[in-house]
A = this chain, B = another copy of it.
Protein backbone atom coordinates (compact mmCIF):
# COMPACT_ATOMS: atom_id res chain seq x y z
CA UNK A 1 0.00 0.00 0.00
CA UNK A 2 1.21 3.35 0.70
CA UNK A 3 -0.94 5.75 2.54
CA UNK A 4 1.40 7.80 4.66
CA UNK A 5 1.35 5.52 7.63
CA UNK A 6 1.80 2.18 6.30
CA UNK A 7 0.65 -1.24 6.84
CA UNK A 8 -2.85 -1.44 8.00
CA UNK A 9 -3.78 -2.50 4.54
CA UNK A 10 -2.37 -5.95 4.96
CA UNK A 11 -4.84 -8.58 4.06
CA UNK A 12 -7.32 -6.05 2.79
CA UNK A 13 -5.56 -5.39 -0.48
CA UNK A 14 -6.86 -8.48 -2.21
CA UNK A 15 -10.37 -7.72 -1.10
CA UNK A 16 -10.16 -4.20 -2.47
CA UNK A 17 -8.81 -5.46 -5.76
CA UNK A 18 -11.61 -7.98 -6.08
CA UNK A 19 -14.12 -5.26 -5.35
CA UNK A 20 -12.65 -3.04 -8.04
CA UNK A 21 -13.31 -5.84 -10.52
CA UNK A 22 -16.89 -6.42 -9.51
CA UNK A 23 -18.52 -4.05 -11.95
CA UNK A 24 -16.13 -4.37 -14.86
CA UNK A 25 -12.90 -5.88 -16.04
CA UNK A 26 -9.90 -3.70 -15.40
CA UNK A 27 -6.14 -3.82 -15.84
CA UNK A 28 -3.76 -3.29 -12.95
CA UNK A 29 -3.25 0.34 -13.66
CA UNK A 30 -7.00 0.89 -13.86
CA UNK A 31 -7.55 -0.86 -10.55
CA UNK A 32 -4.99 1.41 -8.97
CA UNK A 33 -6.65 4.55 -10.32
CA UNK A 34 -10.06 3.31 -9.35
CA UNK A 35 -9.15 2.58 -5.75
CA UNK A 36 -7.36 5.85 -5.40
CA UNK A 37 -10.36 7.70 -6.72
CA UNK A 38 -12.99 5.98 -4.60
CA UNK A 39 -10.92 6.25 -1.45
CA UNK A 40 -10.37 9.95 -2.07
CA UNK A 41 -6.68 9.44 -2.35
CA UNK A 42 -6.14 7.32 0.73
CA UNK A 43 -5.08 4.32 -1.29
CA UNK A 44 -2.16 4.89 -3.58
CA UNK A 45 -1.20 1.37 -4.44
CA UNK A 46 2.40 0.43 -4.73
CA UNK A 47 3.09 -1.50 -7.91
CA UNK A 48 5.21 -3.88 -5.91
CA UNK A 49 2.12 -4.79 -3.94
CA UNK A 50 -0.58 -4.57 -6.58
CA UNK A 51 0.77 -6.82 -9.31
CA UNK A 52 1.86 -9.61 -7.00
CA UNK A 53 -1.63 -9.46 -5.47
CA UNK A 54 -3.11 -9.89 -8.93
CA UNK A 55 -0.90 -12.90 -9.62
CA UNK A 56 -1.96 -14.46 -6.35
CA UNK A 57 -5.61 -13.89 -7.09
CA UNK A 58 -5.26 -15.52 -10.47
CA UNK A 59 -3.37 -18.44 -9.04
CA UNK A 60 -6.13 -18.99 -6.52
CA UNK A 61 -8.76 -18.93 -9.24
CA UNK A 62 -10.46 -15.75 -8.10
CA UNK A 63 -9.77 -13.84 -11.29
CA UNK A 64 -8.62 -14.61 -14.81
CA UNK A 65 -6.64 -12.39 -17.10
CA UNK A 66 -6.48 -11.72 -20.79
CA UNK A 67 -4.55 -9.38 -23.03
CA UNK A 68 -6.40 -6.50 -24.58
CA UNK A 69 -6.02 -2.89 -25.56
CA UNK A 70 -6.75 -0.27 -22.95
CA UNK A 71 -8.91 2.82 -23.32
CA UNK A 72 -5.75 4.76 -24.03
CA UNK A 73 -4.78 2.42 -26.80
CA UNK A 74 -2.05 0.61 -24.90
CA UNK A 75 -1.47 -3.09 -24.53
CA UNK A 76 -2.65 -4.18 -21.13
CA UNK A 77 -3.58 -7.22 -19.11
CA UNK A 78 -7.20 -7.17 -18.05
CA UNK A 79 -8.58 -9.06 -15.11
CA UNK A 80 -12.03 -10.55 -14.84
CA UNK A 81 -13.67 -11.52 -11.56
CA UNK A 82 -14.67 -15.18 -11.52
CA UNK A 83 -17.56 -16.65 -9.49
CA UNK A 84 -15.13 -18.06 -6.98
CA UNK A 85 -13.63 -14.62 -6.59
CA UNK A 86 -17.02 -13.07 -6.12
CA UNK A 87 -17.78 -15.51 -3.32
CA UNK A 88 -14.41 -14.73 -1.81
CA UNK A 89 -15.15 -11.03 -1.98
CA UNK A 90 -18.39 -11.55 -0.13
CA UNK A 91 -16.68 -13.61 2.55
CA UNK A 92 -13.91 -11.14 3.01
CA UNK A 93 -16.27 -8.21 3.08
CA UNK A 94 -18.38 -9.76 5.83
CA UNK A 95 -15.24 -10.58 7.65
CA UNK A 96 -13.75 -7.16 7.26
CA UNK A 97 -16.87 -5.57 8.64
CA UNK A 98 -16.95 -7.83 11.65
CA UNK A 99 -13.32 -7.08 12.21
CA UNK A 100 -13.64 -3.32 11.88
CA UNK A 101 -16.64 -3.25 14.19
CA UNK A 102 -14.57 -5.11 16.77
CA UNK A 103 -11.63 -2.75 16.34
CA UNK A 104 -13.90 0.23 16.72
CA UNK A 105 -15.42 -1.33 19.84
CA UNK A 106 -11.96 -1.57 21.34
CA UNK A 107 -10.88 1.90 20.27
CA UNK A 108 -13.98 3.56 21.63
CA UNK A 109 -14.15 1.60 24.85
CA UNK A 110 -13.92 3.48 28.11
CA UNK A 111 -12.36 2.21 31.32
A interface list, Cβ under 8 A from B:
3-12, 15-16, 19-20, 23, 35, 38-40, 42-43, 91-93, 95-107, 109-111
Contacts and interface: CB of A to CB of B under 8 A. Distances in A.
Contact of A10 (B10, B91, B96, B111): B10
Specify how many copies of this chain sit in the oligomer. Answer: 2
A40 B16 CA distance: 26
Most buried by B among A8, A95, A97: A8
Contact of A103 (B98, B100, B102): B100
Given A23-B111, A42-B98, A109-B38, A12 B92 contact: no
18 contacts: A3-B99, A4-B95, A5-B91, A8-B10, A8-B12, A8-B95, A9-B11, A10-B10, A12-B103, A19-B107, A19-B109, A38-B105, A40-B102, A42-B98, A42-B99, A42-B101, A42-B102, A93-B107
